[in-house]
Amino acid sequence: MTPTDRMRSGPVTAVQAGAGQASLGVSDGPGISRLRRPLFQKYLAALFIAVVVPLFVNSVSEGWFGYRDQKELLSQRLHAEAGSAAGRIQGFLVDITDQLQWTVQLPWRDGSDERHHLDVLRLMRQAPAVVDIVLVDNHGVERLHVSRLDPEIVNSGIDRSNDPAVIGARSGRVWYGPVKLYSGSEPHMTIAIAGAREANGITIAVINLKLIWDVISAIHVGQSGDAFVLDRSGRLVAHPDMSLVLRGDDDPAAARLKKLQQAMLSGGAETTEGSNAERRAVIAAMALVPGPDWMVFVEDPASEAFTPLRAALWRTGFMLLAGAIFAALLGYLLARRMTGPIHLLERGAEQIGAGHFDHKIEISTGDELEGLASRFNAMAVELALSQERSERIARLKRFLAPQVAELVEGSDQEQLLDSHRAEVVVIFCDLRGFTSFSGVAEPEEMMGLVQEYYQALGAIITRYEATLTCFMGDGVMLLLNAPVPCPEPALHGLRMALEMQASVQSLAARWRARGHDIGFGVGLAKGPATVGRIGYEGRSDYTAIGNVVNLASRICGAAQDGQILIDAAAAAEIGDGVALAALGTRPLRGFADAVPVFSVRSLARDVAAPRAAK
């Protein structure tokens, strides 16, 4: 079947119709998605954030810095109270130890018992906190025992050299014993003091710690803040509630105070947070009492400590709420004033998007929205011109290379497409063995092969700027030198045919590997023809009519696989540009006389070699 015969067959019309429909770009446009968030909500949110966020950040910063400042002030106040209480307790103990020093000023000699006795009595009168005194000589023997509750004992001869108080006083001059409950009623502590010389002996005194309770009971922080004293082991020494002291270490309240002490020692901070004896959350500070190694704690309930801060936060929260309401009202009013013009812009955009480029958007706000409406109107005019130009280019691209179509439209030379007489080069090419292949192949396989074939030819045709007049199943008709003139059209066309032959032969090798015996032939002729657009309203093609068209078609039909056949006129123009081989004259259907035919010499050898090897 020749290319001319294929042009008259039915399937060619279907292919052309499909190509024409594709060239028109007929497709369903994508739908407009629904708005996720209207502009009103965006303006409302933006103004709300613009007002509320700074207020919120300011509130948070004020709350944070206020918390830090309040905590710092509380820490300073608690430390001051704890330091003051520790100082008073230390002063009490220092005063006791100074009084006791008078009892170890004289050495123990014969006849000195009375003098020591007088020193003890004077001490008992000057220091009411001392309830019991024992004098031990340098040999560790008890020499005098004076008590406010029991009779005096003189020269009892009791050996106290292994007494912890004696041992502690000898090693450190001053020894403080653990706190004990005297007769189960009040806390007492033993203090032992050694003289400057060993001969002066040691004085052991039992001290009533009620004065420490008086000091602790007088401390009040805020409305319900208290103080208490613990020794290093966590035993409660003094507390405003004396019953806690009397209940001992096993009481749960005393255990909570001990836990607070452990938190203070492990944390290393100036203040710590925990629970007091009443299970209330408190903030506490601590001061040490040297000597007995006691710890004075001053606590303030957290609920009271941050009362001023909570009041400030309530005021800030009210301001934040007022700012939020103001921002919401302001955003609502501004958004309402803007929605009218924006709705006009939206409706105008819909009209322009629907192709109604004559639609005008009328907005008279005197601001950027009016300027935007003017831009929309100007854009509609430009779109109308662009659409008209795109339609013209689309029509041209049906038979011209894209760059040629752009050139013709851009230079406003569409009159080149009008019918006129021109010297043209016509190229026909088609596949060999395609009719037999299409009779046995599946439709999907056949269409895939044709698509691969046209994909290879299309890139070359576009690069050489040839005019594609039509597809004919597996055949293609091309024009050169029309509608746009080109220099040496025959040589230009032959070079294009050589690239097409090489490209299709590489495809044919793969097709043969799949068992399809398909080849490719090309015919090229030069001569005068009438060129121009033909068709009817709504559909037209650019083509050539004349004897040269039939000649190129018949030469293509005579070409074997791998051959490029050309007529004498084209061969004369090509000359020495490409090596040609004269094949003599051949009779062609539709021509009374035999026609001289030429082939490309080098291509014939290159293609014949692999075919012969196969």
Q: Which residue type is seen at 431?
A: L
What mean pLDDT is reported for the chain?
80
Look at residue 25 and tell me if it is in a domain.
no
Q: Do 150 and 278 share a structural domain? A: no
The distance from CA 172 to its chain's CA centroid, rounded to whole angstroms, is 67
pLDDT score for 422: 93
Beta bridge partners of 153: 145
> By the 8 A CB rule, do 6 and 475 touch?
yes
**Alpha-carbon distances of 600 from 126, 574, 582, rounded to whole Å:** 140, 11, 9
b/e 277-304 (16+ beta carbons within 10 angstroms → b) = beeeebbbbbbebeebebbbbbbbbeeb
Spatial neighbors of 331 by CB under 8 A, at least 6 apart, are 43, 44, 45, 46, 47, 48
**Statement: residue 102 has pLDDT above 60:** yes
Quick one: 188 and 229 in the same domain? Answer: no
- 8 pLDDT band (50/70/90 cuts)? very low
Question: The domain spanning residue 113 has which CATH number?
Answer: 3.30.450.20
Q: What is the mean pLDDT of residues 136-165?
A: 87
Which of 337-346, 397-406, 514-523 has the highest mean predicted lDDT (pLDDT)? 514-523
- What's the helix, strand, coil split of the chain in %, to 5? 55, 25, 25
State the average pLDDT over residues 30-57: 68
Residue that finishes a domain, picked among 162, 189, 208: 208
pLDDT at 432: 93
Indicate whether 531 and 433 sit together in one domain. Answer: yes
* pLDDT at residue number 397: 59
Average pLDDT rounded to a whole number, residues 284-292: 85
Given 359, 394, 429, the domain boundary residue is: 394
pLDDT band at 403 (very low <50, low <70, confident <90, very high): low
Region of 11 please: left (phi>0), alpha (psi -120 to 50) or beta: alpha
Q: Residue 271's pLDDT is what?
A: 79
Highest mean pLDDT among 299-303, 412-416, 602-606: 299-303
pLDDT at 494 over 90: yes
pLDDT at 34: 56
Domain shared by 187 and 200, yes or no: yes
Considering the domain architecture, whether residues 90 and 167 belong to the same structural domain is answered as no
Do the beta carbons of residue 216 and residue 164 sit within 8 Å? no
pLDDT at 608: 41
Percent of the chain with pLDDT over 70: 85
**Of residues 181 and 600, which shows the higher confidence score?**
600
Do 199 and 228 share a structural domain? no
Asked which of 159, 192, 208 is the last residue of a domain, the reply is 208
Model confidence pLDDT, tens digit, residues 540-597: 778 899 999 999 999 999 999 999 999 999 999 999 889 999 999 999 998 999 999 9
Higher-scoring residue by pLDDT: 192, 16: 192
Q: 196 versus 16: which is more confidently predicted?
A: 196
In terms of domains, do 478 and 463 share one? yes
Mean pLDDT of all residues in 244-252:
76
Residue 408's pLDDT is what?
62
Burial per residue of 358-393, b for 16 or more beta-carbon CB atoms within 10 angstroms, e otherwise = ebebebeeeeebeebbeebbeebeeeeeeeeeeeeb
Whether 482 maps to a domain, the answer reads yes
Please check the confidence at residue 39 and state whether its pLDDT lies above 80.
no
What is the distance of C-alpha 320 from the center of its chain? 29
Do 118 and 221 fall within a single domain? no
Distance of CA 18 to the CA centre of its chain: 48
Query: What's the token pair of residue 421?
Result: 């007489």
Instruction: Please tell me whether residues 301 and 355 are part of one structural domain.
Output: no
By residue count, the chain amounts to 614
Which comes out higher in pLDDT, residue 221 or 399? 221
Above 90 in pLDDT, residue 489?
Answer: yes
Residue 509, pLDDT above cutoff 80? yes
389 CB contacts (<8 Å, ≥6 apart)?
409
Alpha-carbon gap, residue 366 to 175, rounded angstroms: 94
Tell me whether residue 131 is in a domain: yes
Q: Which contacts of 436-444 are long-range, i.e. CB under 8 A and separated by 24 or more positions? A: 437/516, 437/517, 437/518, 441/516
pLDDT exceeds 90 at position 495: yes
Instruction: Assess if residue 21 is contained within a domain.
Output: no
- Token pair belonging to 219: 């401390």
- Do residues 526 and 548 both lie within one domain? yes
Residue-number span of the structural domain to which 154 is assigned: 105-208
Give yes or no for a contact between 414 and 540, defined as CB atoms under 8 angstroms apart. Answer: no
Domain tally for the chain? 4
| pLDDT tens per residue, range 105-142 | 888 887 778 888 888 888 888 888 888 899 988 888 88
The band of 26, judged by pLDDT with boundaries at 50, 70 and 90, is very low
Are 457 and 476 in contact by the 8 Å Cβ rule? The answer is yes
Is 542 inside a domain boundary? yes
Phi and psi at residue 237, in whole multiples of 5°? -95, -45
Indicate which CATH number applies to the domain containing 523: 3.30.70.1230
Give yes or no: residues 258 and 276 share one domain: yes
For residues 483 and 516, membership in a common domain is answered with yes
Mean per-residue pLDDT, 523-534:
93
**Average pLDDT of 65-82?**
78
455-479 pLDDT, tens digit per residue, is 999 999 989 989 888 888 899 999 9
109 part of a folded domain? yes
Alpha helix (H) residue ranges in 183-269? 210-217, 242-247, 252-267
d(CA 120, CA 99): 10
Q: What percent of the chain has pLDDT over 90?
A: 24
* Domain contains 586: yes
Residue 23 has pLDDT above 60, yes or no: no
Lowest mean pLDDT of 89-98, 100-109, 306-315, name the range. 306-315
Helices (H), 477-567: 489-513, 547-558
Is 263 inside a domain boundary?
A: yes
pLDDT exceeds cutoff 70 at 59: yes
Pick the closest to residue 140 from 177, 105, 168, 114 (CA basis): 168
* 29 φ, ψ (degrees, to nearest 5): -70, 150
| Tokens 């309240």 sit on residue | 253
